[in-house]
Structure 1
Amino acid sequence: MAVVEALRARGDDVLVVDLPAAEPEGAEALGAAFFAADLTSGEACRDAVAEAIRRFGRLDILVNNAGIQHVADIESFPEDRWRTMIDLMLTAPFVLTQAAWPHMRAAGWGRIVNMASIHAKVASPGKAAYVSAKHGLIGLTRTAALEGGEHGITVNALCPAYVRSRLVENQVADQAKLHGMDEDAVISDIMLAGAAIKRLIEPAEVAATVAYLASDAAAAVTGAAWDMDLGWTAR
């Protein structure tokens, strides 16, 4: 919800899209609207864009932030989980972008921010689907940036390292099981091993960068895969 809070603080109208089982109170407490949808469905993606247009009359900013994680080696990675992760983290951003595109093009202004990961640039064992989806998201970002430039649409990807989030918290136990380590060791010896700054990234830091990329101040930034990795890839 940190991204929602940052955009609402600027005065933006925000539609939060999450699974039907999610509770809308968090979005509503921040003054945002809520729409229940399973974004692994293309139809649901198109319905979400249509709902934003219905509620607000326009769609200026799209933040593709939905994600899940499953940690397993390639030999044991379930095919159905692979397909779900690719559908959610690569196909859904494409369909949402495709659905939002005509509205942004007609307005002559649009901002699309794809939440990638430092795993969009490097790989880690046990994350075949996640790494594949995020690498693909960089390709989508760059292609859409080239197509959107003449229409005033910028498209960028944000590539953070490990953020203090539910997704990362859930990964710790999975990584501990995969590597036979305790959870504290996973954080220090795996998640932060290559980082120059030895801490997790706070959600508010990510949200502030999203808000910048979605602003007029970032009008010259497009096609970027913006590292926010605590120095992890500086080596």
Structure 2
Amino acid sequence: MSLRGLKGKVVVVTGGGGGIGSATCLRFAEEGARVVVADISPAAAEKVVEAIRAAGGEAVAMIADLTDYAATGEAVAKIEAGFGPVDILVNNAGWDLFVPFLKSEPDYWAKIIDINLRAVLNVTRPVLASMVARKAGGRVVSIGSDAGRGGSSGESVYSACKAGVIAFMKTLAREHSRHGITFNTVCPGVTETGMLENFMEAAGDKEKLRVAFAKAVPMGRLGRPEDLPGAILFLASDDAAFITGQTISVSGGLTMHG
């Protein structure tokens, strides 16, 4: 059974060329949504666009550096003028490395904050302003991390950013419920993505760490990109119309929050 309210909707997925992002774009397309694959890499974005079109779906690429507020606003305006007003925003783009706090420096903090927090603000601002002006409701789903709920060794600044994303979504849910716009956060656990590979490479002894991560998960394996779209699409659908300001972990039981 299909989720209600996704067919024909314009959805922007940031980091849409990556693991979780591409899996999410493909699932939205399967539900009949019109997909905007937003990524800093033209090649990565176009690969996903081509896959969606080959399957009979509708998609375009949005190439932008989301850490640049002006450029992001221009990219959103171009999409809305040429492809249609954005109904759903999925803030998925992110980046991290394993760096203990006392071995990190301000330049690294700035990069982590720009990509994982400031970029969310930069793209949410123009999309949300348009949603409010149109008085047609909307959905915003941000990809947080269980690092933002319980902390994670070697990810101090990243964890702080993801905690900020969770709080940002809760606050916007309070400010804009009267506009019929919902804001929720999906928190992956340890998931097999390119970012995880880079993280484990920086930490050293990658395969030993992979085994340790898997053993820590009650379900006995690491997450996969395809584990995430179900929760994301549900929160973006009309089936979740009365759910806002919530945070859900998709972690195989690695973290359990009441």
Q: TM-score, normalised by structure 2?
A: 0.84
Which one of the candidate residues 156, 161, 164 is aligned to 1:128? 156
Q: Distance in 2 between matches of 1:192 and 1:216?
A: 34
After alignment, is 66-75 or 16-25 more displaced? 16-25
Structure 1: gaps (5+ residues): 177-181
- Equivalent residues of 2:67, 2:122 under 8 A apart: no
Give the AA of the match of 2:167: G
Provide the residue aligned with 2:207 in structure 1.
Answer: 184
CA offset at residue 20 of structure 1?
A: 4.5
CA offset at residue 193 of structure 1?
A: 4.5
Provide the residue aligned with 1:199 in structure 2.
Answer: 221
* Superimposed CA distance per residue, residues 56-81 of structure 1 (whole angstroms, 9 cap, x where no aligned partner): 22110001011111211112213212
Provide the residue aligned with 1:145 in structure 2.
Answer: 173
Give the AA of the match of 1:92: A
CA offset at residue 197 of structure 1?
A: 1.1
> CA RMSD, aligned part only?
1.6
Provide the residue aligned with 1:179 in structure 2.
Answer: none
Provide the residue aligned with 1:35 in structure 2.
Answer: 62
Q: Distance in 2 between matches of 1:134 and 1:126?
A: 14
Q: Distance in 2 between matches of 1:123 and 1:24?
A: 31
SS of 1:92's equivalent in the other structure is helix
Structure 2: gaps (5+ residues): 1-21, 54-58
CA offset at residue 112 of structure 1?
A: 0.3
User: In the comparison of the two structures, how many residue pairs are matched?
Assistant: 229
Provide the residue aligned with 2:4 in structure 1.
Answer: none
Provide the residue aligned with 1:66 in structure 2.
Answer: 93
Q: Distance in 2 between matches of 1:4 and 1:24?
A: 10
* Superimposed CA distance per residue, residues 122-172 of structure 1 (whole angstroms, 9 cap, x where no aligned partner): 112211221111011011010011112111100000011011211112222
Q: Does 1:7 align with 2:28?
A: yes
- Percent identical across equivalent pairs? 31
CA offset at residue 21 of structure 1?
A: 5.6
Provide the residue aligned with 2:119 in structure 1.
Answer: 92
